[in-house]
Structure 1
Amino acid sequence: MAQSLKEFIANHSLEDHLLSDMQTRGFVTSMAAAPHLIDPAEWLAFMWGGEETSPFDTHEMLEEYANIIVAIWNQEREKLLSNTWVWPDGCALDDEEIVTNDTRLFCEGLLQGWTLARDDWETLMPEESEDNALMGGVLLSITLMFDPESALTAVEEQGAIELAQFEEIFSAMPTMLCGLTMRAAQRIQEAEE
């Protein structure tokens, strides 16, 4: 059985050289949700900070890592397009911190990945389109989950978001992210016909 991403990172002592397991999962999920396929060769280096030289000792290690990443991409893409995606294990709400650290890291990776596909999203769902609100809602929700304390402080005066609403947003994220991915795939298909 192939080792998991977390095991691979730990077994090769790469914690200080690669994005964490959750950041990577967020980033790869963002790439899987992107409207157009972006070749992993174009974004794999982001996993180690965009440096030209990878942190792997051998080509075999790099290949094993790339295979793990592509397997995650395939799995996430299938789940997103079949409306079965759920938060990864470890991502949850937290009574004291609002969300778990895993949730923050996952959302950080999602936001980082989104920046790579941003032009594709904005071209497909421009500001004046009906789909733009869906895209904006997903991005706002991810941002709120990434930094809930700042969000609460910023909107406390208007009473726009209460702590209880984070539970609603967290619970709705899978449906929203799947919906956005499926809508983008539909738009791409319509454009190709």
Structure 2
Amino acid sequence: MTFNKQQEKSLRETLEQLQGHEAVISFHQLQGFLFAVACSPELIKPSEWFDLIWLNDEPQFDNETEARDFFSQVVSLAVYIAERAQQRRFLPFDSIYSERWQNELAEWCEGLLMGHQYLEDVWLITIDDVNDIAMTDDIDASLNLAATFADAASARQLSFDDEVDLGSDHLAQAYELFSKVLNTYATMGGIWADGSWDFNAEQLFLALEPVAHDEPCPCGSGIHFSSCCLH
């Protein structure tokens, strides 16, 4: 599915109007939030997450048609972002970090963190079930880096106070790492959802154990192994 420039322009304009009433998150926050939703280990319907993009409980539209159009635009963006995530296209920015769009990146990361917080319970279950240290480290890194970029100004001040360099070069390296670990963030939920991590360790161990000569044959014949498949 495509989300063309005209659709983006229309959605941005509506969001800006609503933001004037402090009613809704920004376009880039919405993108980050929808990326988190797309990566959710469990399928989340638009009817479940749509209310979360509002900053108050009373979004104002002139009529029902406008409200429906806005909902349709947001869902179209959600589908587009989900498809991009499946194509391993995570960030809506250039592959090389630039301070020119740091503010937009900060908002995107705010949206990601907001979405992850909403899905935190299912993520805790997923991480515990998959039980992969390297993948868990990547998930932690993606969230820590998102927090850094979401408030880069404060992070820079802290690094200055601690006499640690957090200049453009460091942020460029952090951005490169961020792009890489987001791959794990985007795929771990799918691994959990399809159950490819799930196996019975005890059954696997028993399957690897040698069968004694006087034990029943594993083929199910009921005959001792020594008189059946062993010969």
**Would you call these one fold, judging by a TM-score over 0.5?**
yes
Q: Which residues of structure 1 form unaligned runs of 5+?
A: none
- Mapping for residues 69-84 of structure 1, pairs under 5 Å: 69-84=74-89
Q: Per-residue displacement from partner, 1:129-178 (whole Å, max 9, x unpaired)?
A: 4132111000001001011232234355374x632221012133233223
Q: CA deviation at 1:191?
A: 5.7
Equivalent residue number for residue 110 of structure 1: 112
* Corresponding residue to 1:27 among 25, 29, 33: 33
Equivalent residue number for residue 141 of structure 2: 137
Equivalent residue number for residue 18 of structure 1: 24
- Mapping for residues 35-46 of structure 1, pairs under 5 Å: 35-46=41-52
Question: Is contact 1:35–1:185 with CA below 8 Å preserved after alignment?
Answer: yes
TM-score (norm: length of structure 1): 0.81
Superposition CA RMSD, Å: 2.8
- Mapping for residues 101-180 of structure 1, pairs under 5 Å: 101-126=103-128, 129-130=132-133, 131-155=135-159, 157=162, 159=164, 162-163=166-167, 164-180=169-185
SS at match of 1:57: coil
Give the Cα separation in 2 of the matches to 1:184 and 1:64: 30
* Corresponding residue to 2:190 among 178, 185, 188: 185
Q: CA deviation at 1:192?
A: 9.1
Partner AA of 1:105 in structure 2: E
SS at match of 1:56: coil
Give the Cα separation in 2 of the matches to 1:155 and 1:175: 23
Q: Which has the higher contact order (CA 8 A, sep 6+)?
A: 1
Equivalent residue number for residue 57 of structure 1: 62
After the TM superposition, which of the residue ranges 168-177 and 139-148 deviates more from structure 2? Answer: 168-177
Identity %: 19
Q: Number of aligned pairs? A: 185
Question: Is contact 1:28–1:73 with CA below 8 Å preserved after alignment?
Answer: yes
Partner AA of 1:41 in structure 2: S
TM-score (norm: length of structure 2): 0.69
Give the Cα separation in 1 of the matches to 2:28 and 2:63: 24
Question: Is contact 2:191–2:197 with CA below 8 Å preserved after alignment?
Answer: no
Give the Cα separation in 2 of the matches to 1:57 and 1:121: 38
Q: 2:72 aligned with 1:67, yes or no?
A: yes
